Structure 1
Amino acid sequence: MNGSFIDFRHKELTPQVTVLKMSHQFMINYNYLVVDPITREAVVVDPAWQIEKVDQALADAQATLSGILLTHSHLDHVHLSKPLAAKYNCPIWMSHEEIDASGYRADQLVGIDESPWIVGKMKIQPILTPGHTPGCICYQISDNLFTGDVLFAEGCGICPDTEAAYDMYTSLDHLKRVLKPHTRIFPGHSYGRQPGRIFSQVLQENIYLQFRDKESFAAFRLRSGQNKSKMFNFR
């Protein structure tokens, strides 16, 4: 089986999350297949690089792909969205803000706000979290949060300038206020810790969740000396 199957609670009551580790040259991304155990309808989050892994995960789960959730428009998060949407005849969801800022277009693209909707029996709750990009969005499905490049277990995504860093601080602060401690965090990348850590652990260990004001957060996030070899040490 391609990917590791994670089912943290009773599989007949909660969505099933399959972690798909995708690689392309020097890049490693984490995609997620989320399956409703009752209807076997599924969504995939930020699909990129290895389409055969998505196909195999769907076959292993005996699931139907009913939609594609995009956290933002960077290539390593949207790479497979168009071919998968065409192959499985399903929508691609992205925030209106990200569509407007990025110019991303696809035949089956659907712009969304923070209004929830249902796939199978799963409630999809978008949470707008700008900072890394103007329209970054996280998706909460049951006790699982899919964060793209907003929040990693070890840090947070790159911010291009001070205003973006201020936005990132506000977004992370919002997540701190709305997430339950047992929420599982599934980021787009891992820098040492495996996806699926509970938020109470991330909150305790992640230095970017410790700042009390946007100015000090921005100064640290944009500090000098963050070359490529140190960019994701986060300290």
Structure 2
Amino acid sequence: MKVFVIPVTPFQQNCSLAICEATQRAAIVDPGGDLELIQRAVAENGATVEKILLTHGHVDHCAGAKTLATHYGVPIEGPHRDEKFWIDQLPDQSVRFGFPAAQAFEPDRWLDGGESVQFGEETLDVYHCPGHTPGHVVFVSARHRVAFVGDVLFAGSIGRTDFPRGNHADLIRAIRTQLWPLGDDITFVPGHGPTSTFGEERRTNPYVADGVSA
């Protein structure tokens, strides 16, 4: 699996293009905007988009999802159903944060923890990791040791929990009980900023490093 990180929107949100090398089938994770950049990456890599995957319902992660899904004729999968109230607010979110007008939509498939999604010959396991938002999910390739974590975890930080229905304790618990057991060697693509590994964050992250009290 090849992964290309494409920063989009004024928030420099990390949209990911994940391509199955055996089939050139691809999934786009969190297309928040700047769709021409995403489409260019797809074309330059000779990929065939098979689906759109969403970690959560904030505007910088999903405002472009419906338009892109319509363009490629593909389904949207994720996030968890508890994100519906955020996706329903996309028209207001887009105005509030100066984004192009975005319409609310219903994903073709809501996701629960323990499920999986496929594109080409690749499988990503789904983990429900609430806290930043209530229905946030994380996508993990156990085979390639890569995770797409949205705004759950960052290099040196964690997601905000001061949004409606955010919960700091839930976020810390999700990171420590859902993500850490997957292995220190997993490289993760966060919603913003540079990639890191679970192991590095367990050693150095001031919020969730081993030995740091919740």
With structure 1 as the length reference, what TM-score do the two structures score?
A: 0.76
Q: CA RMSD in A?
A: 2.1
Instruction: Name the aligned partner's letter for residue 189 of structure 1.
Output: H
Q: Give the structure 1 partner of residue 40 of structure 2.
A: 56
CA deviation after TM superposition for structure 1 residue 155, in Å: 0.6
2:66 aligns to what?
82
The one-letter code of the counterpart of 1:184 is T
Correspondence for 1:230: none
Structure 1 distance, partners of 2:178, 2:9, is 28
Unmatched segments (≥5 aa) in structure 2: 89-103
Match of 1:23 in 2: 9
8 Å CA contact 1:85, 1:108 repeated in 2: no
- Which residue of structure 2 aligns with residue 148 of structure 1? 150
Q: Which of 31, 34, 38 is equivalent to 1:47?
A: 31
Judged with a 3 Å threshold, the aligned counterparts in structure 2 of structure 1 residues 99 and 159 are, in CA distance, closer, same or farther, namely: closer
| C-alpha contact 1:29 1:188 (8 A) present in aligned 2 | yes
Q: Name the structure 1 match of 2:97.
A: none
- 40-49 vs 170-179, greater mean Cα deviation: 170-179
Asked which structure has the greater CA Rg, the reply is 1
Unaligned 5+ segments in structure 1 are 1-14, 218-235
CA distance in 2, matches of 1:200, 1:108: 33
Deviation at 1:97, TM superposition (A): 3.1
Moved over 6 A (4+): none
State the structure with bigger RCO (CA 8 A, min sep 6), 1 or 2.
2
Q: Aligned partners of 2:152, 2:118: CA distance in 1, in Å?
A: 23
SS in 1 for 2:172: helix
Change (3 A) 1:189 1:163: closer
Comparing 53-62 with 176-185, greater Cα deviation is found at: 176-185
Judging changes above 3 Å, is the alpha-carbon distance between structure 1 residues 166 and 189 closer, same or farther for their aligned structure 2 residues? same
Q: Is the 8 A contact 1:31 1:44 kept in 2?
A: yes
Which residue of the partner structure matches residue 178 of structure 1? 181
Residue 52 of structure 2 corresponds to residue 68 of structure 1: yes
